[in-house]
Every structure is written in structure tokens, then in C-alpha cells.
Amino acid sequence: MQNNKEVFTAKNSSCQFGHGKKIIKAVDNVSFSIQDEEIVSLVGGSGCGKSVLAKMMLGIHKPSSGSFLYNGKEITDLRQHWREVQMVLQDPFSCFNQFFTIRSQLKSSFGIFKEKPSNKEIEERVDNALLAVNIKPPEIEGKYPFELSGGQMQRMLLARIFIMRPKVLIADEPTSMVDACVRANILDYLMKIKNELKMTIVFITHDIGLAYYVSDRLFIMHKGAIVEQGTPDEVALSPKNEHTLALLDDIPDIHKQWIVR
Amino acid sequence: MKLLKNLLKSPMFVCGISLLLITIILAVFGSSIFSITMDRVGQQYAAPHGKYFLGLDDLGRDYVSLMIRGLQSSLYVGLLAGVIATVIGTFVGIYGGFKGGWVDDLLNMFTNIFIVIPSFVILILISSSFSEGRSLTLIGIIIGLTTWSWTARAVRAQSSAIKTKDHIILAKLNGANTVKIILVHILPYLASYVFMVFILQVASGILSEASISMIGLGPLDTVSLGTILNQAKNTGALGDGVWWAFIPATVVITVIVFALYLINTSMEGVFNPRLRK
Amino acid sequence: MAIFEVDNLSLHYLTRFGKKVHSVTGVSFTMEKGEILGIAGESGCGKSTLVNGLMGLFIPPLYPTAGDVRVAGESLMNRSPEDIRQNVLCRKVSMIPQGAFNALNPTRKVKDIAADVMAAHMKGIDRKEIYERLNQRFDLFGMDTKRVLNSFPVTLTAGERQRSVIGISTLLNPQMVIADEPTSALDVTTQKVVIKMIFDLLDKGIFSTMIFITHELPLLRHVADNIAIMYAGQFVEVGTADQIVFDPRHPYTKALMGAMLSAEPGQKQKKPTAIEGAPPNLANEQKGCRFAERCPCVKDSCHTNEQEIRMVAGRQVRCEYAE
């Protein structure tokens, strides 16, 4: 099933912003590896550095120290990198240009390919991608982003991934703006695409319950560092780091005592 | 569309657009409505009488004809200057704001030079260096090339705010190049802002032309509202109480610029819903 | 005596084109002093509209369609916004709107924002006395009072800003507080701190009764005494917190609870509920049960029969087939 190819390898990698006295270490000395076809979640509160780490995986931020490798090599050619690594974001409405129809924007995803396929093939692949997320193409014909619901728009983001067929998907809080009842559907489509395209997925979330449900491994982050790594059971059920414990403690679980009055 | 309907609800807009339309109609169809002639038709500075209801100038020419011609010239220069300034300012601003880094710093420096040096002084210098061949078009181009700087600054701020938005990130991940991102993903979001800026640039162009003409550095081959005022000044009409030599021209300039400012302010109320009552 | 009574409240919006959107329909409940009611629902269910209605703040395009809202026997309907602001807001009922912590005036220090609120409601009190009272009050909040009061909002963390907002809203010891998603944009650690503060204020008697609105049901289990589930403008289930969370009866409540993911053994095998679709468009006339389009146990009659509230297992449920 999984070959042991390492997709991402980081060794003592950091990413800092600013200069002089005002240096902020957004990612602080992290070391990890992510295997092919793995689902890994980066979990932590706001300001823990998970978004910056995700952007490092996309190549948008360069590491200021240490090594950060994709498939054993440094990330240099961004266009080439984005043929293999793509992203799904939290707010599906802000991801699309409000002045153009959704279909035309899905078609423009082909801009990243080395060779653009023929118009006929583009139309076919867009149709197939829509069907893969359970949307019949006529449903979105001529429609603009604001005319669809949040759940539908999130599926558009996934349809785009289906078109682009990347090897790695970075999903930044893909379900936090979606209603709870629809959330499982989005996760289903995500898993469907993952299995068909044999993708590696990096989830970013603050919801440790969600991370527990979907991931093969969890990385708990705090102030830029990865404080704990392991399988969901290891991290959530027998945590070792104090920050992990604090995080688990802060969740209002319905079965546990949360605040003593 | 809905936008137009909303605009028409604002009394400011209706007032401004009506005034502007009247001046445009006069400029475009004036020669059909009134009989235009540049010949001498009477006495020097004859008072308004009969069909010459704006009087005659110091060469005995009909002021109605002069005003219509002047209106055409001023509107033309304003439009030309406005278009040039808006185009330059918008693209300098968008590109600098989007690229950031040293490109932005360089363009900023360039923009600041133009802001700091009074554009009117540059206008005087360039105009006076053309002792012949000073046409309306040339004046329009010069005004356009010297007054784009504050547009660039304003648009740069907007562009800089938009570049952090998610749809820009996704456009990059789709492989869009800089030109495509600017034209497709940034410009439409700034369209209403740029349009309003354009209106102000046109107003500014009309005023600049009037100013440069009033000091005698205007177009040499045609009449404009500014040259009419210049003529009034030179022949001492102001002191002699020959009001028809300068009041009509002043009123018309004021009305056009006022109309444009009204339109601009009322549009701001429509485009920014938070300003609506 | 009931401190807050809502009687068959219905509210609607008038869109630009004159269409009526019935955002809230037939909401009724009463609250006793000291009660915490949680209202849970997803985006678009009408909870924020309801909040404005509960305050009597009917600012166009929001209008009341029918019903009554009473605070300690006094009706809030048919009163001008000025009247409400002067006599009800901050004193009897205080509201903390959604995202309030990002809406603090960035050009004023926290102490000035707070002082303005006090000065507006307490005529003839001098600035010095206001600041003294502020210091005393903010000392109860467990933040670094001196630093927070003298800071501009932008220099404070989100948690400090939200606690300041709550502090300012309760300065005049209102009888009741309505909080619209007070912790939704905060991470879990900050959320816990803010909720602790709310409990603190309740224990110290700064205010006694509260309506807590959120889309996160598990949070309400710890915060609320009673919970009302809202869908498409109606209450579909109302009961005690334990009843709603551990023994839901309405299909929508069951779906909501089933959609929760938690880090516990067995979660990996337990698939969360997945329901397609979206709530109905309330600009159109509604026939029958509003959840019928998406309900996993829908029957034919659900599309035509108007659903009324009935008592099932000791709580109110708006479903004729609920057991």
C-alpha cells in the first residue's frame, strides 16, 4: 500500500520574520518526516505556527535555517512544485474571484499544467470533477460564487483539486466554515479524492476531535515548535507533553468535567 | 442595472449628472443649436444684446461662439488628461502594491518625486519650452503625464490590501502570471474606486488647463475657457467692468468641476454601503 | 416571577426589492432569574436576528411580525431605538454582539470606551469617579487591570479584548446578558478563559441571567441550564442541557449531536452524521416541516403538515413523529 517514500523531510527547520530586535520565530526548529499517502494533522491554538508551516510546505515561505525538503530536494521552482502540491483553504467564498463564474475559474486551474489540454478535454475534466463531488454540471452553469451555499463552494474547492490531481494536498481548516451536518460529506469527498489520486494530505486544524478522526498521525504545535508527534491514540489518549495535555483539557468535551464552578 | 437605479436615488448624483450632461450636450451639439462664428460681428466689448446674449469680446467676436468652442476644448483636454493620468497612476499603483519589495520601493520613490514637485510648475516649464506648436492635445498629454501621482498612491494602497486575499493565493496556485493576476483578480475589485478617481482626474485636468491658459501658456491654436479668461485679463476687461468677458467662463468652469465632484461624492455613497443612510 | 418572557415572536426582514424574509417564526420561551439558556443553531438559522428582536431593537430592515417580549413584565415591543438604548440597553438587558471584540474603537483606550458607556447611562457622574469604579470592576476580571485599561484595543490579545467587551457590557449590572457567539472566533484555550470569567461574574452576582448563543453544542452542555435548538427560524427542540445533549429526540438535534467529533476511543469507527443540502430559503413561503427536505426519517405527511411543539420525554419537540 504505502511505499516508504518520504514526501516532506524537515531537519531543525525554522522560519522567522522581521529583523533586528523584532524577530518572530513563526516556526521554531522543527524536525519531522511525512510519508507518501499519509494523512497528517497539524493541531494547535492560534499563533502556534501551523499556517506558516503549511505555507513552507507550499513553498510560499522559505526556511530561514535548517533543511526543508520535498521528495528529497529543496523547493526551488514554485510552478513545478505547485503541479504536485496544492491547497484547500478555510473560506471557500474568499478563494474565488467574485466577478467571474465558477466554471470559468475551475477551467483556469489548467493554467498550472505544462501543456494545456484541448478545450474539449478541459470541459470534460471539469464535468468529471464536478460529478466526483456530487454536483451535476448544469447546477452551476453560469453561476457566481455568491449564488451557492458554503457547502457547495467547499465542494468547488475539492473539485478543483480533482482537476489538478496533485500528489500532496494541504487542507487549511477545510471544514471550519461549513455546517456540522455537512462536514462529514466534505470529509467523505476528501477521502474519496485521496484514495483515487493516492494523495498525501496535511490537515491543519484547531479541532483535535477532527484530527483524531481523520489522521494517521498528529503533530501538536505550540509557539512554532512541534511538541508532540504520534498516532491519534498515542497523542490524544496518552499524551506526554504538557501543552498537549493543556490543549486536551481545554476542550469542552461533553463527557468530562471542564470548568469547576 | 441595480447600480444605476441606486445612483439615481441620490439627489447629489442626479444634480451632478444633469449639469454634466447639459455641458456635454452644449459642447457636442452647440454648433447646431447656436450659429458659431469666429468672425468679427460688431464693436469691441459690446454689451450683451439680441442674439449675442453673452456680448462681444475685444475683437468684436461673439462670446456665445467662443464659449461653445472653449467648452469643447476644455472638456477635451480634461478627458485626455484624465484618461492618461488615470491609466498611468492605476498601473503604477497596482503593480507596485502587488509586487511589493524593491519594485514597490522604486515605484514609490518615483511617485513621490512627482508628488513633491508641484505639477503646475512642471506644466509651466514644459509649456513655455514649446513656443510654437502648443496644441490642446499637447497640453492634455502634459497635464496627464504630470498629475498621476496621487492616483498611484491611492491605488497602491488598495492593491496592497487586496494582494493578501485568498483568491490571489489560489490564482497563483493555478499558475496565473502577474499580468493575469493584475487584470483579472485585482483590477475588477478596484474598478469602482478607479472610476471615481478618474472623475476627479478629469476635473483636475480641466482646472489645470484653465490655470495654465490663464497665465498665457495655454494652447496657441484654439480657444479654451482658460484662454478666454486670459484674454479678459490681458485687455483689462476686469478693471473696466466688462463682466461678460470673464464671468460666463468662470461660471462654466466652476459648474463643470462642481458637477464632477457631485458625481464623485454621490458614487462613494453608493459603492460603499456603509455610507448609505 | 419570570424575568424574561417571549411570546410567539416572529420577525422578518425587508429586502431591497420589497420581499419579506421570515427569519424568525413563532419563538416562545420564559426564563427565571439565574437561568442560563443556550440557543444553538447553524449559520442562517436566525439566531442573530432573534438576538436583535429579543432586545426590542427593530432597526429597518428588521421588523417585528408578531409576538411580544417582556423584561420583568415590561414589554419591549413598539418602542423607539432611542428609548431602548436609553432605558433598556446596558441596564436591564445587555447585549454582546457577534465579533464585538473586533469592533472596539481602535482610536480610544479601553478605559475611555468603558467610561463613555458609564457616562452615557449615569448622568451627573464625574470622570474621576468613573475611572475609580472601572478599576474596581476590572480588578474582578483576573487581567492585568492597569495595563488593559490603559491600552488601545489593537495591542491586546483577542481573549483580553473579548473579556474587556464582556466587562464593559456588564458595568451597569444588567439583569440579563445576551451573548451572541462570544467565543466562536477564539481558540479553545482562550475560550476556556472567557467562559471562566463569565462564570466568575455570575458567581459574584454582577448579573444573574444569560442567553448564550453558539453553534457549538458541546460547549452548551457545560455552560447552559437549558438549551433551545434553532433551525430555519424556529425552535425545534427545547429542554434541559442533559436532555438535549445526551438524549436528543428531534431528528435535527440528533443529526447535530451525531456530527460532533471528539478525540476518544471508538471515534474512528463512528462515522459522524452527514446530511446533504442546506436550510430552506426563508424568502419563500414554507409548507410543512422545514427540515423535511433533509430529514433522514422523513415521511410523506411531513411535507404538508405544519409542525407544532409537543411534549416528548419531558421536553418540547417540534416533530409529530418524534419519540
To the nearest whole Å, the CA of C34 is away from the closest chain A CA by: 15
Give yes or no for C243 touching A (CB within 8 A).
no
| Residue-wise burial string across C71-85, b where 16 or more C-beta atoms lie within 10 A, e elsewhere | beeeebeebeeeebe
Q: How far apart are CA B72 and CA A231, in angstroms?
A: 78
- Give A-chain residues touching B185 at CB under 8 angstroms: 97
Q: How far apart are CA B97 and CA B91, in angstroms?
A: 10
For the stretch A162-220, pLDDT in tens is 998 899 999 998 888 888 888 888 888 888 888 988 999 999 988 888 899 999 999 99
HSE-CB for A183 with a 13 A CA cutoff: 26
Rounded to two decimals, the pTM is 0.80
Give yes or no for B170 touching A (CB within 8 A).
yes
Written as tens digits, the pLDDT of chain B (277 aa) is 667 777 787 888 889 999 999 999 988 888 888 878 888 888 888 888 877 888 888 888 888 888 888 899 999 999 999 999 999 999 999 999 998 889 999 999 999 998 888 888 888 888 888 877 788 888 899 889 989 998 999 999 999 988 888 899 899 999 888 899 999 999 888 888 898 899 999 999 999 999 988 888 888 888 888 888 888 888 887 777 888 888 888 999 999 999 999 988 888 776 665 554 4
A36 sits in which H/E element: none
Q: Shortest CB distance from C222 goes to which of A183, A247, A252?
A: A252
Are C213 and C51 spatial neighbours (Cβ–Cβ below 8 Å)? yes
For the stretch C49-84, pLDDT in tens is 898 888 888 888 888 999 999 888 888 888 888 888
Q: How far apart are CA A258 and CA C62, in angstroms?
A: 38
Cell of A229: 508527534
| Residue-wise burial string across A211-221, b where 16 or more C-beta atoms lie within 10 A, e elsewhere | bbbbbebbbbb
Interface contacts A/B by beta carbons within 8 Å: 43
A86 and B173 within 8 Å at the Cβ level: the answer is yes
3-state secondary structure of C315: strand
Domain boundaries, chain A: 6-250
| Residue-wise burial string across C98-119, b where 16 or more C-beta atoms lie within 10 A, e elsewhere | bebbeebeeeebbbbbbbebbe
* Sign of the four-CA dihedral A74, A79, A80, A85: positive
DSSP state of C264: S
Q: How far apart are CA C178 and CA C97, in angstroms?
A: 8
- Which domains, from first to last, does chain C contain? 4-263+284-317 (3.40.50.300)
**ipTM of the complex as predicted:** 0.83
Cell of C106: 481602535
Q: How far apart are CA B178 and CA B168, in angstroms?
A: 10
- Give C-chain residues touching A232 at CB under 8 angstroms: 263, 268
CA B204 from chain centre, in angstroms, equals 5
- Which domains, from first to last, does chain B contain? 2-18+76-275 (1.10.3720.10)
C273 and A237 within 8 Å at the Cβ level: the answer is no
User: Is CATH 3.40.50.2300 the classification given to domain A6-250?
Assistant: no
A182 and C255 within 8 Å at the Cβ level: the answer is no
- Give A-chain residues touching B2 at CB under 8 angstroms: none
Q: Shortest CB distance from B174 goes to which of A89, A91, A111?
A: A111
- The arrangement of strands across the sheet holding C20-31 comes to C20-31, C4-14, C62-71, C74-75
Written as tens digits, the pLDDT of chain C (323 aa) is 688 899 999 999 888 777 888 999 999 999 999 999 999 988 888 888 898 888 888 888 888 999 999 888 888 888 888 888 877 887 788 889 888 888 888 899 998 888 888 888 877 788 888 888 888 888 888 788 889 999 999 899 888 999 999 988 888 888 889 999 998 888 888 899 999 999 989 998 888 999 999 988 889 999 999 999 999 999 999 999 999 999 999 999 999 888 888 888 878 788 888 887 788 888 888 888 898 888 888 888 888 888 888 898 889 999 888 88
To the nearest whole Å, the CA of A248 is away from the closest chain C CA by: 9
Q: Taking an 8 Å Cβ-Cβ cutoff, which residues of chain A contact chain B?
A: 58, 60, 79, 82, 86-87, 89, 91, 94-97, 99-100, 108-109, 111-113
